[in-house]
């Protein structure tokens, strides 16, 4: 996840929901949601244990920094996992110049479900990790594990991919793992008017040339730093600029599912993240579910952000569940 910038950037609220669990013939739990005035909608049961293991597997590769063996090995595994769960996979490769002039070999990994449907939803996260611990006081020049910042969003989406493979939704779904999101200049580096372009390199590549010609999606949901204990998902400013109705849809659903503790209603400053480029340049209005804490001093992404403390110790299964079940509910209700 990139640093906060003080930059100003340029469906339907869902009815009441009641949730319950039933067992299908195979004994597997499923959630049935009933919306007022509509037939019941069957939503697969999100497994927070599975999502946790997916994060653990990513961390085991080592830091996923572009141009590294660990990065490439993890990327191959991510594509294989999406295929294993029934996705039609495209690996979009490209080159991008980093803030320090280094040419990065990037891979955006796309898993497509229900290709025949023109009614599509885009779910995405970044899979790369920070190349240095610029907010730490030790080993500052070493890359971080990125269990939360990078690993958590991908872990939740891999578990969602597993469910999509078992039970096809009515809509088309594209799961995208963006590369090169977290390669911006170190904390404290003097910024320029174009410094925000140093971040989110993979989504910028995608926005200029999506994985399919003429690609359109009704809306998108970005998952960034969605696994930490005591996470708070306030209404992120860039999301409110480009997709306020989608914010209301997602946050309202989370509240009705009982996850209001995590999904709160203060509006954060606008941030530079993948949803900016997907919304503004890619034409897919998107919300960012991101842990940004406004009830602490200093406000921000938590004390482990861009430090070596961003490891498996910060990951909390209940947070993963709150995000995963909310997103699954949105997908299967469309």
The two structure tokens encoding residue 143: 């890359």
Strand partners, 91: 109
pLDDT tops 70 at residue 24: no
| Bridge-based pairing state of the strands 41-44 and 29-35 | antiparallel
8-state DSSP, 119? S
Label residue 289 by pLDDT band (50, 70, 90).
very high
The two structure tokens encoding residue 326: 């909310």
Q: What angle do CA 31, 36, 41 make, to 5 degrees?
A: 30
* Domains located in the chain, CATH noted: 47-333 (3.40.630.10)
- Per-residue pLDDT, 23: 39
Q: What is the mean pLDDT of residues 216-238?
A: 98
8-state DSSP, 228? B
- Per-residue pLDDT, 1: 52
Rounded to whole angstroms, how far apart are CA atoms 329 and 32?
10
Strand partners, 293: 300
Rounded to whole angstroms, how far apart are CA atoms 128 and 231?
21
Label residue 10 by pLDDT band (50, 70, 90).
very low
8-state DSSP, 102? P
Q: What is the mean pLDDT of residues 177-186?
A: 98
Strand partners, 228: 315
- Per-residue pLDDT, 11: 31
- Per-residue pLDDT, 22: 42
Instruction: Name the one residue in this structure whose structure tokens are 């949803």.
Output: 275
- Per-residue pLDDT, 62: 98
Rounded to whole angstroms, how far apart are CA atoms 94 and 100?
18
Cβ atoms of 305 and 269 closer than 8 Å: no
Rounded to whole angstroms, how far apart are CA atoms 152 and 181?
14
The two structure tokens encoding residue 163: 């469910």
């Amino acid at each position: 996840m990139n640093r906060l910038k003080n930059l100003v950037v340029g469906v339907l609220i869902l009815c009441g929901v009641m949730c319950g669990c039933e067992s299908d013939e195979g004994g597997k739990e499923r959630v049935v949601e009933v919306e007022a005035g509509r037939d019941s909608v069957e939503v697969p049961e999100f497994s927070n244990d599975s999502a946790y293991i997916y994060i653990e597997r990513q961390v085991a590769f080592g830091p996923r920094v572009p141009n590294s063996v660990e990065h490439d090995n993890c990327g191959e595994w991510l594509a294989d996992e999406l295929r294993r769960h029934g996705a039609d996979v495209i690996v979009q490769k490209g080159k991008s110049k980093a803030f320090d002039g280094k040419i990065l070999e990037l891979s955006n990994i796309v898993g497509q479900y229900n290709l025949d449907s023109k009614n599509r939803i885009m779910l995405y996260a970044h899979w790369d990790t920070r190349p240095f611990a610029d907010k730490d006081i030790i080993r500052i020049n070493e890359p971080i594990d990125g269990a939360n910042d990078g690993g958590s969003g991908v872990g939740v989406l891999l578990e969602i991919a597993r469910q999509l493979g078992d039970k096809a939704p009515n809509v088309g779904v594209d799961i995208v793992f963006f590369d090169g999101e977290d390669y911006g200049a170190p904390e404290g580096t003097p910024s320029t008017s174009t410094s925000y372009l140093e971040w989110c390199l993979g989504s910028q590549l995608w926005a200029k040339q999506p994985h399919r010609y003429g690609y359109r999606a009704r809306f998108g949901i970005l998952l960034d730093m969605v696994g930490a204990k005591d996470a708070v998902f306030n209404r992120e400013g860039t999301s409110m600029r480009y997709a306020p109705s989608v914010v209301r849809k997602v946050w309202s659903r989370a509240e009705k599912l009982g996850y209001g503790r995590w999904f709160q209603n203060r509006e954060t400053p606008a941030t530079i993240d993948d949803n900016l480029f997907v919304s503004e340049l890619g034409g897919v209005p998107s919300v960012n579910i991101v842990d940004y804490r406004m009830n602490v001093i200093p406000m921000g992404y938590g004390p482990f952000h861009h430090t070596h403390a961003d490891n498996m110790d910060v990951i909390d299964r209940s947070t993963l569940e709150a995000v995963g079940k909310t997103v699954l509910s949105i997908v299967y209700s469309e």
